[in-house]
Structure 1
Amino acid sequence: MDILTVEGPYNFDLVLSRLALDPLHVVDMEKRFVKVPLLIDKTPVVAEVQAVGTTDEPKFKISGIEEPYQKQAQQRIADIFQWNTKLAPIHDFFIKTDLKEIFTDHRGTPLFLEFDPYSSLMKLIIHQQVNLKFAYTLTERFVRKFGFEKDGVPFYPLPETVAQLTVEELRELQFSGRKAEYVIGIGKAAAEGYLQYEELKNMSDEEIYDTLIKLRGVGPWTVQNFLMFGLGRPNLFPTADIGIQNALKKLYDLPVKPTQEEMQTYAQHWEPYLSYASLYLWRSIE
């Protein structure tokens, strides 16, 4: 068991509240912990990450990791929760903008990541073009049916498993035929080593875009969200995202959702932290 101190502000309770939206996450809001599924050298590891500090003095207790995997798991957990990114300068930047109120309300919310790039991309594909409630339902069916559990924590099905699925098997879970094909294709690509975290995190945004856009079912919206929530890139603003459009409509009290041109005009004031603007705008309507 280790206690780790990070630089504040960092509001883990707001992290947990967002994680709790996904029924596949094992979250305890009262005890302030989440159980994180990790694959270390192809071995499933479950780490419990618990907040024991405050927003201004954040401290975390990490437990449950077996000895051979502790160093790698702790490094990955630090990446997931973005503990090495200082949020104070980002907060100070935004309280001088139109997003001041939102950043004050959600102070200390980090751009934390999905638990691994493969499940991040898989989740994005499943969530495409369906409402959020059904997206979570569909993802949960997929993981419960074809994935596995350790210590009561769900793991996404391994790429090798997904690569062997048929469209008919996914159709039985209410996947569309096309979405089923996309998911199986992502599984095959990952099984062939196409989504290696250590490789991807050393690539530029443009290189990752060129790599992922070749996959069926992956468009600009998917790549932008993957860069944000798969890798923590700080300057993405997916203008095609309905949630961000609705958040801007609410923020500026617009009669209709903003146009792409209007969104770009707003966004120019929020660089180089557009991903944080996106995250906090989503938070403002959740």
Structure 2
Amino acid sequence: MQIYKSQKDLTSALEILASQDKKLGAAFEEYGTPPLRKRSGGFPGLAQLLISQQVSTAAASTIHGRFVELIGEVRPENMLALSEAELSGCGISRPKQRYLRILAEAVVSDGLDFKKLDKADNETVYKTLVSMTGIGPWTAECYLLFILRRADMFPAGDLALQHGVRIMYGFDDKPDAERLADFATRWSPHRGAAARLLWSYYNGEQAKKR
């Protein structure tokens, strides 16, 4: 169970990928190593991912910022004390409010122990998270990739990754999650590094069009 503990670890993984895949190598040469930002784990981190589901990066940042300003310390008890009107005022949809409450209740009742979960293997973490209402593959995989920094995670359902691969490899159509997951096996055991570089590549290519 490999983990990216530092920027150096991520760079080393990308250097390996660049030597094996010319297209990733060209992207690495142009964009370099993406920053390995530290993100909050446990309830705060998973709540942020829930809020980020199916909205743009900019919208997710705005909504989450309002949520943090409202709640103060992002703790499950504080989440449960918020009203529907307050959460709606942040821009959080009713379904997501329900998911956040279910998550908060699970933590408060000791049904979800992040200290134990975060030490578990990838499969256990993934299965535990997707068993919860409102948490799908993308959210579970992003928790593993960004918060736990697991090296071989690839959120194949992510639209930016799908478009990034389409552009980089000249696909006629955007690959769906199943096709992209199969395609990404070539980058194992460094699929997480490939994903980070592909996000950087896609954002860079989009910026060139502006």
Q: TM-score, normalised by structure 1?
A: 0.62
Alpha-carbon separation, structure 2, partners of 1:261 and 1:209 = 17
The alpha-carbon deviation at position 134 of structure 1 amounts to 1.5
Q: Deviations over 1:117-146 (max 9, x none)?
A: 322211110011222221111111111111
Alpha-carbon separation, structure 2, partners of 1:260 and 1:177 = 26
Alpha-carbon separation, structure 2, partners of 1:109 and 1:173 = 30
Aligned residue pair count:
198
| Pair 1:189 & 2:106 matched | yes
| Pair 1:125 & 2:125 matched | no
8 Å contact from structure 1 (residues 112, 232) kept in 2: no
8 Å contact from structure 1 (residues 236, 274) kept in 2: yes
The alpha-carbon deviation at position 273 of structure 1 amounts to 0.6
For structure 1, the 5+ residue unaligned runs are 1-78, 148-155
Corresponding residue of 2:155: 238
| Pair 1:279 & 2:196 matched | yes
Structure 1 residues 21-36: aligned runs within 5 Å? none
8 Å contact from structure 1 (residues 163, 191) kept in 2: no
Higher gyration radius (CA): 1
User: In the alignment, which of 2, 24, 34 is matched to residue 99 of structure 1?
Assistant: 24
Structure 1 residues 1-286: aligned runs within 5 Å? 82-83=5-6, 86-87=9-10, 89-95=12-18, 96-97=20-21, 98-109=23-34, 111-147=36-72, 156-193=73-110, 194-196=112-114, 198-286=115-203
Corresponding residue of 1:53: none
Q: Secondary structure at the match of 2:90?
A: coil
When you count strand as a share of all residues, which structure comes out higher?
1
Cα 1:264–1:186 change in 2 (3 A) is closer
Q: Deviations over 1:5-33 (max 9, x none)?
A: xxxxxxxxxxxxxxxxxxxxxxxxxxxxx
| Cα root mean square deviation, aligned | 2.3
Alpha-carbon separation, structure 1, partners of 2:82 and 2:178 = 42
Percent identity over the alignment?
A: 27
Q: Secondary structure at the match of 2:9?
A: coil
Structure number with the bigger relative contact order (C-alpha 8 A, sep ≥ 6) is: 2
Q: Give 2:84's aligned amino acid.
A: V
Alpha-carbon separation, structure 2, partners of 1:189 and 1:85 = 36
